[in-house]
Amino acid sequence: MRCVPVVHVITQLEFGGAQQNTLYTVSKLDRDLFEPVLVTGPGGYLMREARELDVPLHVAGSLQRRIRPPADLAAFREIRGILRSLPRPPAIVHTHGSKAGILGRHAARRAGVPLIIHSIHGFGFTPGQPSLFRKALIEAERFTARSTDHFIAVSHSNKAAGVGYGFFTPERCSVIRSGFDLDLFRNARSNRDDLTGELAVPHDSPLVLMVACLKPQKAPLDFVGVAHEVHLRRPDAHFILAGDGELRDDLSREIERFGLGKVFHSLGWREDVPRLMKAGDVVILTSRWEGLPRVIPQAKAAGRPVVATAVDGSVEAIVDGVDGYLCPPGDVRALADRLLALLSDPAAARRMGEAGSRSVDEFDRDVMIKKQEDLYIRLLDEKGLVEKGEVPCRRGT
């Protein structure tokens, strides 16, 4: 029996947890069992990494994040054409994110793919969207769910939401955590000397770190507001933001408006995030909605307390008052107060960091891969696509 072709479809390879996990999955799936293929839209910070993998890569030129019906129709046709043109017809199509999820699942169904799986990394409909637009997105998800055999959620919160909206029944969705290299964060060496030298700040300055894409979901302007509140009471504190994105110019204007130019440091994308976390004193995340952000368990693995908003899967990643603090989304004052409490009590911050480091094993990326492989095999079995009790394939058999 030959290996089962599995096609992963994702909108764009920007720098983010869903994208990094998709690349790790296609690169590490057991090649005695599965034959991975990756389909994505053009561009993205991680595209170079994708091209270096020993995995067939197909770029759908019209696939983009924004909703644009003519381009979306073209992307649907491109994805369908790619699936039909593969040397071996895929047995599984596994989509990620809202846009690729909707277009990719319909394309897979039209291409005759027998098993279609979708990973939920948060939903495309969000708080604050115009009511009619939000309702249209919910109906699109509900309609597309009919073309989906199984769902994977990164948080129990997202699973419960999907059940509540009628997208699926509980048995049609599995929770698999978004994994990462735990040892990379646990064993990272602090680059505090290099970082404070790079930023030209005193070595003993309190450092507050946020790692996030600069997009509305992550609410980076809230971080600037938090920095302003903290700066009024702790002018020695410095605030570091590692990330880039569409709100970069808005962020710069907000920093200037509050007069924070000397204490707020926007670094752009960084590949030394584990060392940055070790160098920082507290990690913050100001998201307005989430799937389950990897930055929280990453900070915990690095032994740092986290102050975050109480949204979706973030609530599952922090025990409030034990390994961090949870605050209402958008509540700049509450976030600032929690930061100030930790900055004024380093011993308490250290205890929280130590507590967090002991509760992250479920986020091991190899556990994530094994759970996905087991799920693939079970679903293939249930579909009658392999003999009962047998693995999909073994090379040379």
Average pLDDT, the chain: 94
Q: What percent of the chain has pLDDT over 70?
A: 97
**Which residues have CB under 8 Å from 364's CB, separation 6+?**
179, 182
Q: Could you report the per-residue pLDDT of 354-379, keeping only the tens digit for each?
A: 999 999 999 999 999 999 999 999 99
Residue with tokens 């699109």, as numbered in its chain: 140
Could you give the 3-state DSSP secondary structure of residue 306? strand
**182-361 shares the fold of 4-179+364-382:** yes
Q: Could you report the per-residue pLDDT of 187-197, keeping only the tens digit for each?
A: 999 878 889 99
Phi, psi values for residue 128, rounded to 5°: 95, -10
**Residue 283 bridge partners (DSSP):** 209, 306
The answer to whether residues 45 and 23 touch, using CB atoms and an 8 Å cutoff, is no
Does the pLDDT at position 390 exceed 60?
Answer: no
pLDDT band at 122 (very low <50, low <70, confident <90, very high): confident
The pLDDT, as a whole number, for residue 49 is 95
**Residue 152 bridge partners (DSSP):** 119, 174
Does the pLDDT at position 248 exceed 70?
Answer: yes
Phi, psi values for residue 229, rounded to 5°: -60, -45
pLDDT band at 3 (very low <50, low <70, confident <90, very high): confident
Q: Could you report the per-residue pLDDT of 78-111, keeping only the tens digit for each?
A: 999 999 999 999 999 999 999 999 999 999 999 9
The answer to whether residues 213 and 193 touch, using CB atoms and an 8 Å cutoff, is no
Q: What percent of the chain has pLDDT over 90?
A: 89
As assigned by CATH, the class of the 4-179+364-382 domain is: alpha beta
The CATH number of domain 182-361, selected from 3.30.70.600, 3.40.50.2000, 3.40.605.10, 3.60.21.10? 3.40.50.2000
- Map out the domains of the chain as residue ranges: 4-179+364-382, 182-361
* Tokens linked to 196: 């404070």
The pLDDT, as a whole number, for residue 190 is 84
Helices 346-357 and 332-343 cross at an angle (nearest 10°) of 100
